[in-house]
Chain A
Amino acid sequence: MVTVKVNGKSHQVDVPSDMPVLWVLRDVLGMTGTKFGCGMALCGACTVQLDGQAIRSCLTPVSAAAGKAITTIEAIGATPAGKKVQQAWIALDVPQCGYCQSGQIMSASALLARNASPTDADIDAAMAGNICRCGTYGRVRAAIKRAAQRSSISGTGARS
């Protein structure tokens, strides 16, 4: 038995300790918002946050998440940065097929939570690991900037 804390809730799961978080989320807990893309941490579709940090869940063993808080796309809207990112994504109609967007949003909200006004270089560094075959990159970039702007205007800051 392994205990994982996902979106504030603890779950006891009977899985091998080397099982990646991705499959625990999708196939054991039934949380399918986090996506499988490559299984080698090359595409970012499986990105979740571990104690606020963006990680690739397809290569992170569930044992590495012990005692830490996993946040997924299903709950990212409850964080200040995540909410602003989702709103910006809707305002600019970023997604196309949408399959990679959970990962894009998890990476973008982790970025904004630690850096309220990222430069283009910051965005490149944080987002280069998230592949989008529909090519929404231009809108992802614009939406991150829009979310950052909203953060500074509202004065609540993106740091949570």
Chain B
Amino acid sequence: MTAASRREFVAILAAAGGGLLLGYRAEGAQGAASSAAAATTSPGFAPNAFIRIAPGGGITLIMPQAEMGQGVYTSLPMLLAEELEVAPGQIRLEHAPPDDKLYANPFFGEQMTGASSSVRAFYEPLRRAGATARAMLVAAAAASWNVDPASCRAHKGVVTHTPTRRSLTYGVLAARAAALQVPDKVTLKDPKDFTLIGTPAKRLDTPSKVNGTAQFGIDVQLPGMLIATVAASPVLGGKVARLDEQKAKAMPGVRQIVRLDDGVAVVADHMWAAKQGLAALDIRWDDGPNAKLSTPDIVQGLAKASESPGVTARKDGDPESALAGAAKKVEAVYEAPFLAHVTMEPMNCTVHVRKDSCEVWTGSQVLSRARATAAEVTGLPLEKVVVHNHLLGGGFGRRLEVDYVTQAVRIAKQVNAPVKVVWTREEDVQHDVYRPYYYDRLAAGIDSQGRPVAWTHRIVGPAIIARYVPLFFKDGKDVDAVDGAVQLLYDIPAIRVEHVRHEEPALNTGFWRGVGVTHNNFVVESFIDELAAASTQDPVAFRRAMLGKSPRARAVLDLAAKEGRWGTPLPRGRGRGVALLYSDWGSYLAQVAEVEVTGSGDIRVRRIVCAVDCGRIVNPDIVRAQIESGVVYGISGALWGEVTLKDGRVEQSNFHNYRVLRMNEAPPVDVHLVRSGEAPGGIGEPGTAVTAAALSNAIYAATGKRLRKLPLQPGLASSTR
């Protein structure tokens, strides 16, 4: 692309971004509700649920997946635009309404943005949607000229009859194309003809995110809207025992106190009054059955459960005999703590319950679930519940849950106005759906040449899949709990990977930027490092020798080692660690982390190098951004992330005691991409999952201390003592 056209491109995109949001705003409270209806009643061309071309030429793409930073509001439009033959600057985006029939993620059969799946799941369906629409527009043009469609070409929203250079815009063709039958078969472009896919096209959402116009759920404003904030029982399963609301009720701006069985909300004119009112409430809680539970009790339960076998997820050879016959045996127990998500946008949901309808405004990764819970709480039929999605101020799996929607609807049922329920940060940290605590037992056998001959890995933790998608939970197997462990790529003849299901009693647990893999990769790649040390081999060479059957894994390992200057000397107190990741996301990632442990025992991450093979890349700049992002999220979790319970209460509450990485602590992250024609792999989560092991291995290289329990910073401190 030339410099001039590049500038033009950016300018057009800026206009498109502004237009998107202005349009969304202009639609206001009611308009967006009718977006689904518009798709069916508009006289324009809507060959499928993702594309709408107005007679005037306005091209609207309806986004089935939620934008939470991962860039799908750019990568998914790129897939559609590539085949539809429109420029990114010509399109306007719209959030899909809740509708599993039209907008289900093909991987899950429901509307769900998670598991690093958006590009993987929609790579073909959206291209097909675009190609179908293009074929119909071309057919409409060819019919109007009475020429062979093959002699026509579509480009930037215009169909041209090449021999005569006659042309018609999509807007002009829309009505005519709408009358045509949708073709069964369309030909997708050969990847070598891609003009958009594979380019670092600018993000469509950036302009609105630098001037304050981007609309998150928390930014909703409605006529007559009240603001509420809430205190749920500090102990899971607890109830409100007694409530004195006199003082709160008398405060200026406070309108109403809403009592739920397990919480209290203060409804006010603004958040300040709501917060003041909440602070003034005198609530006595009945803490319920979890009143006395603390973290050590939970760990004890997990440890006990780890003594019995679980459901085997993979068995190669005869691991028990191989272990018994090995020249050397290495055993270890690994632990990973509860983690909070702490999205920058605290949980919030706005609801207006009327006599015969309910309207919800929020940011959700599972829009149809948000609608279902609102219907259930209000007792209204699904079609009487309208849900408007928004940009998400962070998701990370937190907004795969609809607890905050359920609660907001319960509150709104008692309020005679639209009410925006906003959680304080404290409420957000203490009522999360946490990454579970995991407890893993491993054993490996090494032969006399230092080669691993047996590997057993017992994972103890909950089965989130059983709660979240019971249909996917078959024969007691939770694919997520063992993800990143069961794929073990290393050439080891005897392997057993098993999962012991053990549910936590006192905290809700769920997905956290790659839940199963985040803990499994830490465990597997740390233990592999232990085996390298036990057989006195270099960690990269040790892994490499076992990757003969996995050329893609070996290639990223080699690339990360080269770019990470593996093997070159480092000053005292510094070390490099390596980790390799492959999982159900389908991407290969190797990381070399360089860490310094200061004289006072502080861990400082100096540099991170990642080599990534995620198959075909839709937008390389977004892939880079996702790796950079995942790594930072991973560092926060690995160094400091830990939610602890005391007497049933979460001890952390805000950023002062739930520490996350800041600008001055963030290392440079170098990302190296492997060109590949393989199917696209997921990219939102791998950067997070691979980081803990690389850091831990680097700390081992720097200090000789093997940390088997996350988070690393307190672990290192206690091991120094």
Contact = CB atoms under 8 A, between A and B. Distances in A.
A93 B625 contact: yes
SS of B interface (majority): loop
A140 interface: yes
A29 to B, nearest CB: 10
Nearest to A45: B344
Contact of A27 (B10, B208, B269): B269
Nearest to B270: A27
A93 B345 contact: no
Interface string B187-219: 000000000000000110111111111111011
- Give chain A's interface secondary structure class: loop
B662 interface: yes
B422 A133 contact: no
Interface residues of A, number: 59
B640 interface: no
Given A90-B206, A97-B69, A133-B394, A36 B271 contact: yes
Interface string B655-674: 11000111110101100000
Interface string A68-112: 000011100100000000100111011111111110010000000
B707 interface: no
B68 interface: yes
Interface in A24-78: 26-28, 30-40, 42-43, 45, 72-74, 77
A20 B396 CA distance: 30
Interface string A99-129: 1111001000000000000000001110111
B252 A16 contact: yes
A127 B556 CA distance: 34
Interface in B625-678: 625, 628-633, 636, 654-656, 660-664, 666, 668-669
Contacts of B395: 97
B520 interface: no
B221 A32 contact: yes
A137 B275 CA distance: 31
B80 interface: no
Interface in A131-150: 131-141
Nearest to B393: A99
Question: For this complex, into which size category does the number of interface residues on chain B fall?
Answer: 35 or more
A72 to B, nearest CB: 7
B272 interface: yes
B394 A128 contact: no
Contacts of B342: 133
Contacts of B625: 93, 96, 136, 139
Contact of A38 (B211, B425, B632, B662): B425
Contacts of A95: 69, 203, 205-206, 209-210
Contact of B394 (A34, A99, A138): A99
Given A37-B346, A37-B425, A134 B629 contact: yes
A42 to B, nearest CB: 4
A19 interface: yes
Given A28-B270, A93-B203, A139-B628, A39 B424 contact: yes
A135 B272 contact: no
A34 B422 CA distance: 15
Nearest to A62: B272
A99 B219 CA distance: 11
Nearest to A100: B344
B227 interface: yes
Contacts of B227: 27
A101 B394 CA distance: 12
A35 to B, nearest CB: 7
Given A27-B269, A96-B69, A97-B344, A137 B632 contact: yes
**Residue of B270, B271, B344, B425 with most partner-chain A CB within 10 A:** B344
Contacts of A131: 344, 655, 660, 662
Among B391, B422, B662, max chain A CB count under 10 A is at B662
Given A42-B656, A89-B210, A133-B660, A36 B633 contact: no
B654 A86 contact: no
Contacts of B387: none
B394 A137 contact: no
B621 interface: yes
A87 to B, nearest CB: 9
A90 B391 contact: no
Contacts of A90: 10, 14, 202, 206-207, 210
12 contacts: A15-B272, A23-B270, A34-B212, A39-B424, A74-B211, A86-B210, A89-B206, A95-B205, A95-B206, A98-B393, A133-B342, A139-B628
Interface of B: 10, 14, 67-71, 202-203, 205-216, 218-219, 221, 227, 252-253, 269-272, 275, 342-346, 391-396, 422, 424-425, 621, 625, 628-633, 636, 654-656, 660-664, 666, 668-669
Interface of A: 15-16, 19-20, 23, 26-28, 30-40, 42-43, 45, 72-74, 77, 86, 89-91, 93-102, 105, 123-125, 127-141
